[in-house]
Amino acid sequence: MSKDFNFQVDGDKLEFTINTKIYSLETIYQAAYLFLDKVYIFLDGDPSKEIIVVMKIKDSPDNNSVDLEKIADEFHNELLNQLLRAKVNKSNAKIREYIVAQALYNAVPNEVDELLEEVEETKAENWQDDPMNIAKPWEGDKESN
C-alpha cells in the first residue's frame, strides 16, 4: 500500500511528496504537527506545486517499534482529516460567527436598552415637570417689551 504514495526510504529517513493543489500548505502544517512527537519532519519543495516531506524516526526508547512507513500512511490519512476539518471550518464560519456574536450580545448587558429604559422611566415620572421653564408662553414677554 505504501508504494501507492511513492515513498522513498533512505536509511532511517523516509521521503515523499504532497501535491499542494490537493492539500494546502496549512493542511500539511496541521497534519505534521500531530506527528512531531513521534518523528522528525522537515519540509521543502515548491508550495505552488508540491511539498517534499522528509520523516525521520526519533531515537527514543518509546519509538523502537515505530514503523516509519506506517506513520507516513497515517500522515496521509491525517492530511485528509485536516482537509475535511478546514472545509467544514470554512463552510461553518458564518454560523459560528453568528453564534459567538449572539452569545456575546446576550452575555453583556445592553447599555442602549438600559439607557432607553431609564429615559422612559424618567419620562413617565416627570413628564409634567418644566425645570428650564420651556413651557412658559413667550408671547406675554414680547408684549410687555
Partner 1 sequence: MEIKFNKEIYSLGAVKLAIKEFSELADIDIEQEQNYIRVKFIKVKEGDMAEMKDEFANYVLGLHS
Chain residues binding partner 1 by CB under 8 A are 25, 29-30, 32-33, 36, 40-47, 51, 56, 58-59
Q: Taking the complex as a whole, how short is the minimal distance between the CB of residue 63 and partner 1, in angstroms? A: 13
Q: Which DSSP category does 136 fall into?
A: S
Q: Taking the complex as a whole, how short is the minimal distance between the CB of residue 45 and partner 1, in angstroms? A: 7
Q: What percent helix, strand, coil does the chain show, rounded to 5?
A: 55, 20, 30
Count of CB atoms situated within 10 Å of the CB of 63 = 14
DSSP letter string over 19-62? ETTTS-HHHHHHHHHTTTTTEEEEEEEETTTEEEEEEEE--SGG
Residue 66 or 116: the one with the smaller Cβ distance to partner 1 is 66
Residue 3 or 90: the one with the smaller Cβ distance to partner 1 is 90
Residue 57 or 139: the one with the smaller Cβ distance to partner 1 is 57
Residue 37 or 114: the one with the smaller Cβ distance to partner 1 is 37
Q: Taking the complex as a whole, how short is the minimal distance between the CB of residue 73 and partner 1, in angstroms? A: 20
Q: Taking the complex as a whole, how short is the minimal distance between the CB of residue 55 and partner 1, in angstroms? A: 11
